[in-house]
Amino acid sequence: MINIVLFGAPGAGKGTQAARLSQKYNINHISTGEVIRDEIRRKTPLGLQVQDYISRGELAPDALVIGMIAEYVKSHRDAAGNIFDGFPRTTPQAEAFEQILEQNGLKVDTMLELSVPEEELVRRILLRGKESGRADDASEDVIRNRIAVYNAQTAVVADFYQARDKYAAVNGVGTEEEVFDRLCAEIDRLL
Residues in touch with ligand ADP (CB under 6 A): 10-11, 31-33, 36, 53-54, 57-60, 65, 86-87, 89, 93, 136, 146
| 28 φ/ψ sector (left φ>0, alpha ψ -120 to 50, else beta) | beta
Provide, rounded to whole angstroms, the least separation between the CB of residue 55 and ligand ADP. 9
- Please indicate whether residue 107 is annotated as part of the active site: no
- Please indicate whether residue 89 is annotated as part of the active site: yes
In the complex, which residue's CB is closest to ligand ADP?
33
Looking from the CA of 124 toward its CB, the CA atoms found within 13 Å total 20
48 versus 190: smaller Cβ distance to ligand ADP: 48
Provide, rounded to whole angstroms, the least separation between the CB of residue 176 and ligand ADP. 16
Catalytic, out of 37, 146, 166, 182: 146
- Please indicate whether residue 77 is annotated as part of the active site: no
- Please indicate whether residue 128 is annotated as part of the active site: yes
Provide, rounded to whole angstroms, the least separation between the CB of residue 7 and ligand ADP. 10
60 backbone dihedrals φ, ψ, rounded to 5°: -70, 155
58 versus 98: smaller Cβ distance to ligand ADP: 58
DSSP string, 67-125: HHHHHHHHHTTT-SEEEEES---SHHHHHHHHHHHHHTT----EEEEEE--HHHHHHHH
Catalytic, out of 14, 37, 124, 166: 14
CA 24 to chain centre: 18
- Please indicate whether residue 56 is annotated as part of the active site: no
Q: Could you give the angle at which helices 91-103 and 62-75 cross, rounded to 10 degrees?
A: 20
Catalytic, out of 37, 89, 166, 182: 89
10 versus 172: smaller Cβ distance to ligand ADP: 10
Catalytic, out of 20, 134, 144, 164: 134
113 versus 136: smaller Cβ distance to ligand ADP: 136
Contact 187, 25 (CB under 8 A): yes
Exposure string (b/e) for 151-160, b if CB count within 10 Å is 16 or more? eebbeebbeb
Active-site annotation, residues: 14, 89, 128, 134, 146
